[in-house]
């Protein structure tokens, strides 16, 4: 008789890990990090209840860290089997795990220096060296249709519409001639959202494991585009800045899409947009690359000859930390943006509090102005609020310097503006600042 064990996402919504046992084999579905309270994140340091060496296969619903972020520990603790996922999930997982390792290391270092850890010797859960072995074990499976993980474990993927590559998995377990269907919903997205296809529903299940993170909440009615247009126009009119915290994968791309749509339909003025996360830019490249996930409207936009629908007319990549080779795609994108009339180069600081998981889109309106609208403060947390305030200050400084205008006015070849505020912004831009 097949057996299902919950090793995470039970009593909480992170750390998704499920073991299915049948035919003398063990299949792990997802391998997520626990995130949130100290009590939860401490669980990441505990060994798995099931010895990873005894697990035969693993499969992923999507790339978010609460579904993949414990893979380096799994592999470190002896898992040597394949990790199946579709092509988009494999690429996104690579980006996310590298960033996660970096943050784990950074956190441990800060805790050591600041002596604020509750542990005598704070150590990183894993480091960047632990990521390559995981990537080597990733194996591509089809985006849709059936796939045999092993005899007795047949999986069919359905679009989940949550992030690029996200799938619900219908697992058919055949044991002693008896079939049992278990559906893992993974995280499920909304209908009628931009870019990605709508979620589809697996037709049947003997057992359904359904995510319920926002199960007790209703989506607000009304069009998010209308709301965004309203905010942008209001702040642009008074010459302010808007700082929008957004998850680097999914939300940032949706925001860029909406802003581009609003610009094209002339519902908002063309304004400079800054994104402070190279990871968000890498993810955006993947969003464009994996067309198998695109809904019809997005495909139409793409082929409509108006250019990249995830790129506003004046785009800036802002970050101050030198990134490893993975930011090549972001650099290429930055290049492309410049060619399209924008200004490339790094920019406003990505602070420690950014924690990689969230990017901030700094939508800058013309001229100088107030510190701007910062969303709902309660969604930030205190570190986030500090960060938002710091970003707003820097955005304002950049607005005062009007760097983009200065660059363009000088034929895009400014060496130094001589303006003390601009020089301060240049300093913040650090090694990634480029003159053209």
3-class DSSP state for residue 135?
A: helix
Angle at CA of residue 216, ends 213 and 218, nearest 5°: 105
Nearest distance, CB of residue 251 and Zn ion, angstroms:
11
Q: Which stretch binds Zn ion (CB under 5 A): 102-110, 187-195, 196-204, 383-391?
A: 187-195
Q: What count of other Cβ atoms lies within 10 Å of the Cβ of residue 144?
A: 13
Distances in Å between the Cα of 50 and the Cα atoms of 84, 151, 293 are: 19, 22, 34
DSSP character for 415?
Answer: S
Q: Any contact of residue 187 with Zn ion (CB under 5 A)?
A: yes
Give me the phi and psi of 233, to 5 degrees please: -65, -40
Residue 239's region, left for phi above 0, alpha for psi from -120 to 50, else beta, is: left
Contact 186, 167 (CB under 8 A): yes
Between 68 and 261, whose beta carbon lies closer to Zn ion? 68
Q: Which stretch binds Zn ion (CB under 5 A): 46-54, 62-70, 103-111, 391-399?
A: 62-70
Q: Which stretch binds Zn ion (CB under 5 A): 58-66, 121-129, 307-315, 348-356?
A: 58-66
Q: Is 105 helix (H, G, I), strand (E, B) or coil?
A: helix
Q: Which of 57, 42, 44 is nearest to 15 (CA)?
A: 44
Instruction: Give the span between the Cα atoms of 69 and 86, in whole angstroms.
Output: 17
Give 94 or 345: the residue with its C-beta nearer to Zn ion: 94
Between 56 and 211, name the residue whose CB sits nearer to Zn ion. Answer: 211
Closest to Zn ion by CB, 64 vs 320, is 64
Binding piece for Zn ion, criterion CB under 5 A, among 102-110, 116-124, 185-193, 232-240: 185-193
The correct pick among 17, 25, 26, 64 for binding Zn ion (CB under 5 A) is 64
Query: Shortest approach of Zn ion to residue 51 CB, angstroms?
Result: 27
* Phi, psi at 367, each rounded to 5°: 65, -170
Binding range to Zn ion, per CB under 5 A, among 91-99, 145-153, 181-189, 378-386 = 181-189
In the complex, the smallest distance separating the C-beta of residue 215 from Zn ion, rounded to whole angstroms, is: 14
Phi, psi of 400 (to 5 degrees): -65, -40
Cross-strand bridge partners of residue 6: 18
Count the Cβ atoms, other than its own, within 10 Å of residue 206: 12
Q: How far is the CB of 41 from Zn ion (least distance, A)?
A: 17
Find the shortest distance in angstroms from Cβ 212 to Zn ion.
13
Stretch that binds Zn ion, among 112-120, 183-191, 288-296, 331-339 (CB under 5 A): 183-191
Q: β-pairing, 18-22 with 3-6?
A: antiparallel
**Token pair 């290391």: residue:** 105
Q: CA-to-CA distance for 360 and 73, rounded, in angstroms? A: 29
Find the part of the chain contacting Zn ion (CB under 5 A) among 41-49, 64-72, 116-124, 220-228.
64-72
Give whichever of 187 and 426 is closer to Zn ion, judged by the CB atom.
187
| Residue placing its CB nearer to Zn ion in the complex, 64 or 364 | 64
Q: With contacts defined by CB under 5 A, how many residues of the chain interact with Zn ion?
A: 2
Q: How far is the CB of 61 from Zn ion (least distance, A)?
A: 8
- Give whichever of 16 and 334 is closer to Zn ion, judged by the CB atom: 16
- When the beta carbons of 68 and 241 are compared against Zn ion, the nearer one is 68
Cβ nearer to Zn ion, comparing 30 with 130: 30
Pick the stretch among 72-80, 119-127, 184-192, 389-397 that binds Zn ion (CB under 5 A): 184-192
d(CA 340, CA 311): 9
Using the minimum distance from each CB to Zn ion, give the nearer residue, 247 or 258.
247
Binding status of residue 30 toward Zn ion by CB under 5 A: no
| Residue 358 within binding range of Zn ion, rule CB under 5 A | no
Half-sphere exposure of 229 (CA within 13 A, CB side): 16
Closest CB 15 distance from Zn ion, rounded Å: 12
Cβ 64 to Zn ion, closest distance in Å? 3
| Helix 278-289 vs helix 251-264: crossing angle, to nearest 10 | 70
Between the alpha carbon of residue 351 and those of residues 55, 255, 384, 389, the distances in Å are 39, 21, 10, 11
Nearest CB to Zn ion, comparing residues 284 and 351: 284
- Cβ of residue 90: shortest distance to Zn ion, in angstroms? 16
Q: Cα-Cα-Cα-Cα dihedral of 46, 52, 57, 60, to 10°?
A: 20
**What is the contact surface with Zn ion in residues (CB under 5 A)?**
64, 187
């Amino acid at each position: 008789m097949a057996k299902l064990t919950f090793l995470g996402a039970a009593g909480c919504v992170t750390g998704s890990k499920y073991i299915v046992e049948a035919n003398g084999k063990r299949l792990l579905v997802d391998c997520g990090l626990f995130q949130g309270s100290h009590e939860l994140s401490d669980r990441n340091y505990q060994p798995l209840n099931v010895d990873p060496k005894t697990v035969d296969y693993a499969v992923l619903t999507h790339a978010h860290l609460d579904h993949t972020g414990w893979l380096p520990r799994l592999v470190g603790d002896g898992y040597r089997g394949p990790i199946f996922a579709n092509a988009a999930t494999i690429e996104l997982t690579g980006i996310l795990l590298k960033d996660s390792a970096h943050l784990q290391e950074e956190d441990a270092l800060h805790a050591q220096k600041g002596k604020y850890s509750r542990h005598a010797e704070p150590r990183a859960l894993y480091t960047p060296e632990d990521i390559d072995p995981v990537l080597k074990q990733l194996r591509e499976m089809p985006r849709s249709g059936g796939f045999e993980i092993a005899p007795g474990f047949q999986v069919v993927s359905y679009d989940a519409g949550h992030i690029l590559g996200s799938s619900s998995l219908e697992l058919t377990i055949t044991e002693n001639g008896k079939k049992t269907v278990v559906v893992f919903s993974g995280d499920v997205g909304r209908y009628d959202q931009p870019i990605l296809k709508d979620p589809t529903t697996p037709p049947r299940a003997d057992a359904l494991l359904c995510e319920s993170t926002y199960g007790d909440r209703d989506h607000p009615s009304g069009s998010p585009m209308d709301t965004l247009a309203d905010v942008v126009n209001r702040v642009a009119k008074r010459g302010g800045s808007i700082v929008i915290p957004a998850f680097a994968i999914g939300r940032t791309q949706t925001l860029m899409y909406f802003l581009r749509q609003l610009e094209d339909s002339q519902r908002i003025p063309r304004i400079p947009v800054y994104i402070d996360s190279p990871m968000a830019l890498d993810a955006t490249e993947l969003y464009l690359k994996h067309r198998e996930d695109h809904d019809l409207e997005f495909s139409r936009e793409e082929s409509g000859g108006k250019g990249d629908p995830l790129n506003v007319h004046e785009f800036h990549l802002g970050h101050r930390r030198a990134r490893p080779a993975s930011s090549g795609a972001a650099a290429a994108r930055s290049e492309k943006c410049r060619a399209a009339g924008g200004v490339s180069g790094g920019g406003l600081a990505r602070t420690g509090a950014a924690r990689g998981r969230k990017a901030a889109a700094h939508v800058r309106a013309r001229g100088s102005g107030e510190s701007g609208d910062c969303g709902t403060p309660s969604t930030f947390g205190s570190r986030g609020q500090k960060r938002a305030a710091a970003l707003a200050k820097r955005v304002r400084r950049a607005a005062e310097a009007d760097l983009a205008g200065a660059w363009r006015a000088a034929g895009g070849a400014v060496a130094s503006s001589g303006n003390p505020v601009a020089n301060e912004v240049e300093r913040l831009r650090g090694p990634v600042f480029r003159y053209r």
